[in-house]
Amino acid sequence: MHYSTNAFLFDLDGVIVNTDRYHYLGWKKLADEQGWAFDEEVNDACRGVPRMASLEVILRHNGVTLPEDQKHALASRKNAYYVELLQGIGEADVIPGAVAFLQQARALDLKTALCSSSKNAPLVLSNLGLEPYFDTVVTGHDIERAKPDPQIFLLAAERLGERSEACIVFEDAPSGVQGALAAGMRCFGIGSPEFLPQATWTARDFLQLDAQALSHRATV
């Protein structure tokens, strides 16, 4: 049975907006205060991962064990740094071609959803005026299980009234790609094929993509 593509589902960080550097700066500030090692390699392991899980990555890298209350306090402190940094977010932080691609999708009457584990996603969208481009927004507030669990994508498809087979997901992190595939969806990896080998297709950014051509890619 053939299904046409009716919906595009987008991660936020690293796909629509380059917030990675703000996350990096927030974690780096916290790590420096605690005397922990934190570099780009450790930061890459935190991409697409919720706040508490990211903290666990950093703690393991540094061989540190902490009680739960301290971990929650540190994660909250990092989030405060991140939210403060977001006040400086602007058009320069939007991924090249992303807005034009969203505009094209809307013009084609394709349904769109934002699927971000970040609980700050609505703030980012508001600061950049991107809310009108999405029919629904699913964040960490709406799910119990983070990527690579498919819950966030399945919930978005349910809200849009679409089958998984009719959705294409846009992701920049391996955990997101795994979640999309586990949801029975095809996935466009935004980044390098080497970093996202499981993605159905890959592209460096949206400048290389055409929403109309993608919408005609049916699945069996």
Bond into 122 cis (ω within 30) = no
Find the domain containing 202 and state its range: 7-18+92-215
Is 142 annotated in the active site? Answer: no
In a domain? residue 25: yes
CB neighbour list of residue 90: distance below 8 Å, 6 or more residues apart: 128
Q: What percent of the chain has pLDDT over 90?
A: 84
Final residue of a structural domain among 42, 70, 86:
86
Average pLDDT score over the chain: 93
pLDDT at 21: 87
pLDDT at 53 over 60: yes
Q: Which pLDDT does position 218 carry in this prediction?
A: 59
If one counts the domains in the chain, the total is 2
- Let me know the angle formed at the C-alpha of 144 by 138 and 147, rounded to the nearest 5 degrees: 70
User: Which parts of the chain fold into alpha helices (H)?
Assistant: 20-34, 40-45, 51-62, 68-86, 98-107, 121-128, 151-160, 174-182, 211-215
* CATH code for position 151: 3.40.50.1000
Please give the pLDDT value at position 189. Answer: 96
Domain boundary among 30, 60, 86: 86
Among the three residues 62, 86, 110, which one is the final residue of a domain in this structure? 86
pLDDT at 48: 74
Say yes or no: 46 and 148 in one domain: no
Does residue 220 belong to any structural domain of this protein?
no
Instruction: Say what the pLDDT of residue 215 is.
Output: 86
Structure confidence by residue, pLDDT tens digits, 112-158 = 999 998 889 999 999 999 999 999 999 999 999 989 999 999 999 99
| Total residue count of the chain as it appears in this document | 220
CATH number, domain at 45?
1.10.150.240
- Could you tell me which residue, 219 or 144, shows the higher pLDDT? 144
Whether 11 is catalytic is yes
